[in-house]
Amino acid sequence: MRLELRNVFVKDVQWGEKTEISGGVLRINRDETIAAVSNDQRFVEINLDLAKPGESARIIPVKDVIEPRCKVEGPGDVFPGFMGDPCTVGEGATLVLKGCAIVTCGPIVAFQEGLIDMSGPGSRYNPFSETNNVVLTVVPQEDIEKHAYEEALRIAGLRLAWYLADKCRDAEPNVKKVYEKGSIPEENAKYPELPKIAYFCMSIAQGLLHDTFLYGTDIKHVVPTVIHPNEKMDGAMVSGNCVSACDKNTTYHHLNDPVIMELYSRHGKDLNFLGVIPAPEDTRLSGKERSTSFCANLAKMLGADGVVISEEGYGNPDTDLCMNAKKCEDLGIRTVVISDEAAGTDGKSQGLADATPEMTAFVSTGNVNEMVELPAMKKVIGYPEAISNLSGGAEESLKPDGSLFVELQAIIGSTNELGFSRIGARWI
């Protein structure tokens, strides 16, 4: 499978007459763009805002972040099962508006959504302070059922991401990157000496707005399966999660999965990257048993020597993490896990809800409970009062001057467990 990512750099985003990119400036015709994503009777009103790096702006509450992409060559389209048919993607060429992100905003469940600060101390903790953001805020019909609201906003976000990329499909890419990897037997023949590595991308699959989609289907109904890494770059996995903001995998994270990037960059050099196993995290013990047994068995059947296991969320998914690690290690497959910790605001508590002695290689992506002070921003997009309901926030978090005193977990992507950022908890 060969995929060329054609990156068009977005250095600025502005409102304009015509939606197009030139000289690194993405111009957006606001009314046309709103119209393009309005085809949903569940919305009463749709708003678009811009938030740029360095600006004194806060976006709250954030549901998902998506990178604008569209297919320019090859079968299917990005976000298969949503924007394109659910046929295999990852082949051909895909245009990417690099440096731009769609941010969907609006209170849905009202306690597990996060915030983005475009400047100040909070901007250090999330990658979306560095992207030129197009913020989609919707006002749903009254009495809309929450799942319907989530679905409508999820699809509107994907549509907007595709729409903006599609409008720029003729732009000259700044950088082209090729991701190519053959079938497993072909790669094994090429690199017989290299350790064979699989990747379990654990994903929340718990219903009640804690969902992940694979080719448009809710993965809580799917047993773990194997996909080619290129498929993820074309949007095979989409977030439908209203989980604690710090460690949910937004669709942007799935598209730019750092584990895939790292394994790909070392493929054929010091490892042989077998493939990606999306692994649902069920709420029930029987579901955890099933999912982790499938994962370990798939790794074994693929002939894996080692597995990178990333978690999504904390708390009960810690059990899935332990079971995945233990079952692989018991089969002689070495594991490393990537997870955050909930060590309390003082950092003194045990950081995991579950532990197993087989989990001997642990990469920490930070203590989600550490307190951060976020000064007031001049512009607030969304609903600032939502902070009192956010995970990591409290009634008293929003101070009269507009500043916030919150746990790190209120900041979206701050402790992302794909290992997207450089943060980690250490002993002091």
Partner 1 sequence: MALKVVCYINQFFAGLGGEDMAHTGPCIERKAVGPAMQIDNLLGGDGRVAGTVICGDSYYGEHIEEAREKCIEYIRDMSPDLFFAGPAFNAGRYGVACGDIAAAVAQKLGIPCVTGMYSENPGVELYRSKTFIVKTVDSARGMKQALEKMVELGKKLVSNEPLRPADEEGYFHRGIRKNYFHERNGAQRAVDMLLRKISEEDYRTEYEMPVFKRIKPAEPVKDLSKATVALVTSGGIVPRGNPDRIRVSSAKTYGKYNISGIEDLTPEIFESVHGGYDRVWANEDPDVVLPVDVLREMEREGVFGKLYDYVFTTTGTGTAVANAERFGREIGEQLKKDGVDAVILTST
Question: What residues act catalytically?
Answer: 242
Among 111, 191, 362, 383, the residue binding partner 1 under the rule CB under 8 A is: 362
For residue 136, the minimal CB distance to partner 1 (Å) is: 28
Query: Cis peptide before 61, with omega less than 30 degrees from 0?
Result: yes
Q: Under the criterion CB under 8 A, does residue 263 sit at the interface with partner 1?
A: yes
- Dihedral sign (CA 50, 115, 34, 143): negative
Q: Under the criterion CB under 8 A, does residue 188 sit at the interface with partner 1?
A: no
Q: Under the criterion CB under 8 A, does residue 406 sit at the interface with partner 1?
A: no
For residue 119, the minimal CB distance to partner 1 (Å) is: 18
Are the C-beta atoms of 228 and 181 separated by less than 8 Å?
yes
Q: Under the criterion CB under 8 A, does residue 92 sit at the interface with partner 1?
A: no
Judged by CB under 8 A, the stretch of 6-14, 17-25, 359-367, 394-402 that binds partner 1 is 359-367
Judged by CB under 8 A, the stretch of 228-236, 276-284, 340-348, 373-381 that binds partner 1 is 340-348
372, β-bridge pairs: 406
Place of tokens 């499978």: 1
Q: Under the criterion CB under 8 A, does residue 321 sit at the interface with partner 1?
A: no
Sheet holding 210-214, edge to edge: 217-218, 210-214, 237-241
359-363 contact pairs (CB < 8 A, 24+): 359/321, 359/322, 359/325, 359/326, 359/335, 361/334, 361/335, 361/336, 361/337, 362/336, 362/337, 363/336, 363/337, 363/338, 363/339, 363/419, 363/424
Q: Under the criterion CB under 8 A, does residue 350 sit at the interface with partner 1?
A: yes
Q: Under the criterion CB under 8 A, does residue 270 sit at the interface with partner 1?
A: yes
**Nearest residue (CB) to partner 1, 159 versus 253:** 253
Provide the H-helix boundaries in 115-145: none
Ramachandran category for residue 164: left, alpha or beta (phi over 0 → left; psi -120 to 50 → alpha) = alpha
Q: What are phi and psi of 106, to 5 degrees?
A: 150, 140
**Nearest residue (CB) to partner 1, 25 versus 355:** 355
**Nearest residue (CB) to partner 1, 41 versus 427:** 427
- The HSE-up count of residue 409 (CA atoms within 13 Å, CB side) is 25
Among 12, 20, 151, 305, the residue binding partner 1 under the rule CB under 8 A is: 305
Q: Under the criterion CB under 8 A, does residue 409 sit at the interface with partner 1?
A: no
Residues of 314-352 as b/e, b for ≥16 C-beta within 10 angstroms? bebbbbbbbbbbbbbbeeebebbbbbbbbbeeeeeeebb
Distance (Å) of CA 351 to CA 262, 293, 319, 417? 26, 25, 13, 14
**Nearest residue (CB) to partner 1, 82 versus 252:** 252
Q: Under the criterion CB under 8 A, does residue 418 sit at the interface with partner 1?
A: yes
Among 17, 221, 301, 348, the residue binding partner 1 under the rule CB under 8 A is: 348
**Nearest residue (CB) to partner 1, 107 versus 120:** 120
**Nearest residue (CB) to partner 1, 95 versus 423:** 423
Are the C-beta atoms of 146 and 63 separated by less than 8 Å?
no
Q: Under the criterion CB under 8 A, does residue 197 sit at the interface with partner 1?
A: yes
**Nearest residue (CB) to partner 1, 45 versus 346:** 346
For residue 267, the minimal CB distance to partner 1 (Å) is: 11
**Nearest residue (CB) to partner 1, 124 versus 147:** 124
Q: Under the criterion CB under 8 A, does residue 269 sit at the interface with partner 1?
A: no
Helix (H) or strand (E) holding 374: strand 371-374
Q: Under the criterion CB under 8 A, does residue 353 sit at the interface with partner 1?
A: no
Q: Under the criterion CB under 8 A, does residue 394 sit at the interface with partner 1?
A: no
Residue 251 and residue 283: Cα distance in Å, rounded? 22
Among 225, 356, 391, 403, the residue binding partner 1 under the rule CB under 8 A is: 356
Residues in 111-150 at the binding interface with partner 1, rule: CB under 8 A: 124
Ramachandran category for residue 326: left, alpha or beta (phi over 0 → left; psi -120 to 50 → alpha) = alpha
Number of residues that bind partner 1 (CB under 8 A): 56
Q: Under the criterion CB under 8 A, does residue 417 sit at the interface with partner 1?
A: yes
Closest residue by Cα to residue 310 from 252, 245, 367, 260: 260
Judged by CB under 8 A, the stretch of 151-159, 168-176, 275-283, 343-351 that binds partner 1 is 343-351
List residues binding partner 1 (CB under 8 A). Answer: 124, 195, 197, 258-259, 261-263, 266, 270-271, 305-308, 310, 334-338, 341, 343, 346-348, 350-352, 355-357, 359-367, 370, 408, 416-428
